Structure 1
Amino acid sequence: MAQRILALEFAGDRVRAALAERSWNSLNLVGMYDKVRADDETDLGGALSRLVAETGRPDIVISAMPADRVAKRLLELPFKDARRLHQVVPFALEEHLPFPVDNGAVAFTRVGREADHTLVMAAMVRKTELKNHLDLLQKAGLDPKTVTLAPLALAAMFTRARNGAKPAAHLVVEGDESSTSVVLVDLAGAPRALRSILGGLMRSDGSVVSADAAAPILNSVRQTLLAQGGEIDQTEVILAGAAAAYPQVRGLLSDSLAMPVSDGSTFDYTGIFEGSVPNTGKYSSCVAMLLGELPSKPLNLINFRQGEFLFRGRIRGDLSPFYTSGILAAAILAAIIFHFGIGVYANLHRLSQVNAEIAAAAGPVLGRTDPANAKAQLKTGIAKMNHRLTLIGGNLTHSPLDTLVAVSQALPTRFPVEMADVQIDSNGLRVTGQADSFATVDQAKEALEDSGYFGSIEVAHAKAGSDPSKVDFRMDANFKGVTPGVARDNPANGRDE
């Protein structure tokens, strides 16, 4: 079943949106929408609710923070390791800002590589701004999977689209009456500069603003273009957003830069979307954000839903919430099969020994004179051993199956713990795996203690894993009423953080 993806952008008193349907191999643009805040409404919550009522409840939501509320910098870091990037980017970004990043949500995306260096576009939004943004969406019952920066997605869309020309650098100017964003993309498709400016080159009726109002915006656009240096002649200027619909705005920009200015609607989007794509115009940013959910080679969007703002919602068609349950079920099934195989092997070995003893005893005593009696004795022995084959796990006080069932019942459904290895011996249970936090490891320990099946439980090992969002752990649980035996291999006390 196709998933419905809704991309949202707030522009002054308006909510703009683009809706697409994604199948396993295609993305179809369904429609574009524009809702205005009513005079008696204090925020855009009402406009959002009306939009959702018209489009229907989406499966995935992508929204954009206003670009003028986001601090962004292009950083070049001397390594490629993703884990180190997550650790270093916030501090590297802070060096370029006049305020600390402690109260902000930091996100980044890789935009290029040069030898062993990584080029990233880093961005920060204040936590209060991000919380207000999410609260506004929550009023309409929306929980965005991604909160991103629209101008960066827009520039990437023009880089991927075909316009029938040779490869060129792009200067993308996106704006309406309230704001203007400028993104410079080099010949390799990597963004080199990103600026957001309060105010636009047009009024609400489509006419251009006065020369005094336009001057600071045009100067900023000109300075951004000069950052391209020797590639200016190979740079294509593209006007997008609501301003692209008005020739007089394009003319103003063209005269100021002394360069031709093209409209984003002239690009060919058939390589990105299935079917016909209408002139996106003022919805260009919303359409660009949809590229983050392409079935193949999705655009790597900046996503501010990190840390305390991490998206924890449920997406229809997404099986990731069942991964933990699936891993646990597979572990239980593997343990059952393993235990069954060990029992069968042991009993078959015993059966072979008994048959050999019966043959050795029957031959000298009975010889060839009484085969019927020997056959009856052999059948009796075989019957007894076949009966013993059904007794699996009888050598252990606590059955592994009962133990795994007790663990399964103790942990809540969809508990964010992934068990990689489960070991059961006569003393107890050892579990190694991954959790989403140290608190989750402690909750798992408490749940096993409350089950009443185990005695002492120790978290012998817990530290941050190779995935920064995961915690590797090892937990040892002794059966209730069983005195712990010899210490297990590689004991570890405490927690490595």
Structure 2
Amino acid sequence: MIGKFIGVDLDGSKIRLCVIKRGFRKTELIRFIDIDIPDDGQSITNLLSYHLKKESIKTDIAVSIPSSPVSMRILSFPFSEAKKIDQVYNFELENASTLQTEDKINSYHLVGSKDGGADALVCMFKKEEVADTLSIFEEGGISPRVITYSPFALHALSDHFQTERPFVLLSIGQVATNFTLFNENGITRVRSSSAGLESIINKYSELSGLDPKTSKEKVLQGFTDTDDKVLRQAFTFLFSEIKKTLKFFEFDSKKGIENVILAGDAATFPGLVDQINNDINKDVSIVYIPDLGEQKSAVYLNSYALALYGSDSGSGKLNFRKDEYQFTSKDEETRKALLVPAMLLCALFLLILIRNGINYIRVNSEIKRLNAQIERSVKEVFPEVKVLVRPVDYMENQVKKVSGELDLIVGIKSGKTPLDIMRNLSTIVPANSSVTFDELKFTGDLSLRLKGRSKSYDDIAKVEKALNDSGFFEKVVRSSAGSALDKIKFEISLVIK
């Protein structure tokens, strides 16, 4: 999709926006917007509406549902065409799931495989969660084009990761922690856990007896105090979830996982990377995306991925704007209103095109018939011609030549004849002159050219003067003269009165 697009990451008390601009060849990162949700009860809708309208964007938005899905399934198909999968995957899902789906909505992210088939990573949410997410925007006059789930949006950044695959991207957010498994094809598995920062802070408050605000400050300090056993206990559930998920991914993919990439607000906590590394005995590093830079990669990863994922118009993307939540905008409604007139106009244009095409074929056939007839006629008149590429043009050229010759003959017949000219020349040229005329040629109705020889330039000049003084010629011009052997050749152009 060409133009500006915004990714919106709704995560607890934080809202992060990423504005990008897609072009034909490259994508430009314009800016990040960080919104803290105040404690005074100010509407999230008003905050979002203000910033989105400031960017002059009301529909080109991708947002992630902030809660965790009810279920995630994997359906394998022997084909990879999205249209075919759309037709059968709901039926396959009903057979594979025991969940009641009346109050739920599902969508899928398509992952291709080397054998020509595909895996559909199906994600299911309660309909009310999609409706709640959508209402945050619609109350402010905003209609996001894409409603998805952020772990799947990370597929848009698959080519940016240089880590050896398979690897797991671990995103610790405010509300939940998401695990995304990548292999050479991109995302292959996704898992979500409730072990987010809020649950860690609440656990710390419960264990230490401190109020939530102080507990939050302690957790945000990370593992700077290595003797803080309470903090270690508060993170125990998260560490347990990490180990359990890695084992599940390894068992499911039948491959060992040696690399874990850390993202989210907690990624930059002092000492957290070392704690996870020691606990799971894996190579743990903080995410780095060149376009975002080292400082912003962990925090703005999801919003950037959402912007890229949502603005990609390709098929097989996880999007809950379907069924009763189908995306429509004023532009879309206008398009639908104009669709019927546009189709009628296209039909009219098609009829005109067909009619003109039929006329063209008929006229072209007639032209070919006439060309063949003309070719036969030309060959009858000009039997020496064996091949005619363009008989009409050839006939026109021949007619022009004949007409020119006829005009010349008519002009000559209506004027002086060569005999008249010769007779006049014999009386005009001095008798004792050495001039001899070799050629007399008419070049037009009243123009002719004389070629001759003489022993001297004086005799030629005398002849030229005699012709001028005769009164018989309107114009006398000696155009050339030159020596040849013992005589001088000359040429004189004449115009008869």
Shorter-chain-normalised TM-score: which range?
0.5 to 0.7
- Mapped pair 1:281 → 2:298: yes
Are residues 191 and 346 of structure 1, via their aligned partners in 2, closer, same or farther at CA, if it must alter by over 3 Å?
A: closer
**CA shift at 1:72, angstroms?**
1.5
Q: Distance in 1 between matches of 2:69 and 2:144?
A: 18
Residues 40-439 of structure 1: pairs in structure 2 closer than 5 A? 40-41=40-41, 43-58=43-58, 60-95=60-95, 97-113=97-113, 115=115, 117-154=117-154, 156-163=155-162, 167-200=164-197, 203=201, 204-205=216-217, 206-208=220-222, 210-226=231-247, 227-229=249-251, 235-265=258-288, 267-269=289-291, 279-292=296-309, 300-313=316-329, 326-339=342-355
* Structure 2 unmatched runs, 5+: 202-215, 223-229, 366-497
User: Cα–Cα, structure 1 residues 28 and 177, in superposed 2: closer, same or farther, change >3 Å?
Assistant: same
Deviation at 1:263, TM superposition (A): 1.1
Q: 1:219 to 1:63 in 2, by over 3 A?
A: same
Paired residue secondary structure (2:38): coil
| Whole-angstrom distance in 2 between the partners of 1:190 and 1:16 | 23
Q: Deviations over 1:238-293 (max 9, x none)?
A: 0111112223222332222122311112x434xxx9xx897333221110112225
The alpha carbon displacement at 1:48 in A equals 1.3
Q: Which residue of 1 aligns with 2:4?
A: 4
Cα gap change, 1:347/1:303 in structure 2, threshold over 3 Å: closer, same or farther? closer
**How far, CA to CA, are the matches of 1:53 and 1:337 in structure 2?**
45
- Secondary structure of the corresponding residue to residue 210 of structure 1: helix
Deviation at 1:119, TM superposition (A): 1.0
Give the deviation of 1:150 after TM superposition: 0.5
* Structure 2 CA distance for aligned equivalents of residues 277 and 321 of structure 1: 48
Note if contact 1:242-1:282 (Cα within 8 Å) is conserved in structure 2. yes
- Whether the 8 Å CA contact 2:261–2:286 is kept in 1: the answer is yes
* Alpha-carbon spacing, 1:339–1:14, altered in 2? closer, same or farther (3 Å): same
Asked if 2 retains the 8 angstrom alpha-carbon contact of 1:207 and 1:248, the reply is no
1:87-115 Cα distance to aligned partner (Å, 9 max, x none):
43234334555521122221112113253
Q: Distance in 2 between matches of 1:97 and 1:42?
A: 41
Greater share of residues in helix: 2
Instruction: Specify whether residues 320 and 243 from structure 1 end up closer, same or farther in structure 2 by C-alpha distance, changes over 3 A only.
Output: farther
> Match for 1:268: what amino acid?
P
SS at match of 2:144: coil
Instruction: Tell me which residue corresponds to 1:409.
Output: none
User: Hey, what's the Cα distance between the residues in 1 that align with 2:358 and 2:190?
Assistant: 64
| Identity level (%) | 20
Distance 1:337 1:80, change over 3 A: closer
Name the structure 2 match of 1:383.
none
Note closer, same or farther for the CA distance 1:216–1:234 as it changes in structure 2 (3 Å cut): closer
Amino acid at match of 1:11: D
Residues 1:88 and 1:211: Cα distance change in structure 2 (over 3 Å) = farther
Q: Which amino acid aligns with 1:305?
A: R
How many corresponding residue pairs? 339
Q: How far does residue 16 in structure 1 lie from its aligned partner after superposition?
A: 1.4
One-letter amino acid of the structure 1 residue matched with residue 128 of structure 2? T
Deviation at 1:345, TM superposition (A): 8.9
Q: Which runs of 5+ in 1 are unaligned?
A: 350-497
Aligned counterparts of 1:116 and 1:343: Cα–Cα separation in 2: 48
Read off the aligned partner of 1:257 and give its amino acid letter.
I
Q: CA deviation at 1:174?
A: 0.5
Letter in 2 for 1:52: L
Rg larger for: 2
Q: 1:320 and 1:252, CA in 2 relative to 1: closer, same or farther beyond 3 A?
A: farther
Q: Structure 1 53/330 Cα, relative in aligned 2: closer, same or farther at 3 Å?
A: closer
Alpha-carbon distance in structure 2 between the residues aligned to 1:4 and 1:315: 16
Q: What TM-score comes out, normalization by structure 2 length?
A: 0.59
Instruction: Show CA shifts across 1:116-157 (max 9, x none).
Output: 642110011222221121111112221111111101222x24
- 1:27 corresponds to 2:27: yes
SS in 2 for 1:177: coil
Higher mean C-alpha displacement, 329-338 vs 130-139: 329-338
